[in-house]
Amino acid sequence: MTVNDTIQIEADRYPTVQLFDIPIKAMTMKQALDLIDTAIAISSPLQIGVVNAAKVVNMHRNPDLGADVLSSDVIFADGASVVWASRLLGNPLPERVAGIDLMMGMLERGNHKGYRVYLLGATEEINSTVAERITTDFPGVIVSGRRNGYYLPEEEESIANDIAQSEPDILFVAITSPKKEQFLSKWSDTIHVPICHGVGGSFDVYAGKVKRAPLAWQRCGMEWLYRLVQEPRRMWKRYLVTNSLFFWLTIIEVAKRYLH
């Protein structure tokens, strides 16, 4: 049995919920972090995917994005709306495993275990600030390398090689979809990193550029509205349009399940 088989068996211990033709792991945050610790301990690749309402909609719109997300080893429910949909459809997920909370959980555990992380994405200013904050907040974590997210397609190979040479335990990718998923899908065999986690806009939040919604808003599933108020011009289409489309996808899924 290979180490890859071992981590797959470990992941398979937890049930998978099929939502919108996406296999989402029914795991708590602690269980997800435990699985990540195991993958790092045995140096087994574990590519993590997360889905929220916008990602679900865009996966249905863009088959290539869908294929890239589905190539992940495990997929978690990043958005509260996905958890609500799972309950409505009779296959409840235990809780939301938000990408930014998963990132912070890895850093907290890495602070005690000496994890090495590579930061890929965001602007040079944000990327640099995140590296500095990690060094300050989690002195036990080693930032083995970093690269902003603004590069030409022909630079991807050299970036992948730099990641491989820095030998991180965790690669955080703060690049927007579908570029993020495409990078991980294309270069996972080159970089040889146990944990690959696409963190979206989490670097902007951690660097202080964007303020995250208060916990009460998060618990009510209204984090998207808080973000919309902060950046209305940039986020209105993503949230208002895609949330509406996600609602209709959920209605269609309900009809499929209860009318057959």
Distance between CA atoms of residues 158 and 31, nearest Å: 34
What is the crossing angle of helices 29-41 and 99-113, to 10°? 50
Q: Are strands 142-147 and 116-121 parallel, antiparallel or unpaired?
A: parallel
Whose CA is closest to 115, among 197, 7, 37, 196? 37
pLDDT at 70: 92
The larger pLDDT score, comparing residue 211 to residue 86, is at 86
Of 23-32, 117-126, 242-251, least confident by mean pLDDT is 242-251
Whose CA is closest to 71, among 180, 192, 190? 180
Whose CA is closest to 104, among 81, 64, 133? 133
Q: Looking at the predicted structure, is the pLDDT value of residue 89 above 70?
A: yes
- CA dihedral 64→84→73→235, nearest 10 degrees, is 50
* Residue given tokens 């080893």 in the structure block: 73
Which band of pLDDT confidence, cut at 50, 70 and 90, is reported for residue 117? very high
CB proximity list for 50: less than 8 A, separation 6 or greater:
75, 76, 77, 78, 97, 98, 99, 102, 198, 200
- Collapse the DSSP code of 150 into the 3-class scheme (helix H, G, I; strand E, B; otherwise coil) and give the result: coil
Tokens of 114: 């000496």
> What are 40-78's pLDDT values in tens digits?
999 999 999 999 988 999 999 999 889 889 989 999 999
Q: Mean pLDDT for the chain?
A: 89
Provide the residue ranges of all domains of the chain, joining segments of one domain with +. Answer: 3-206
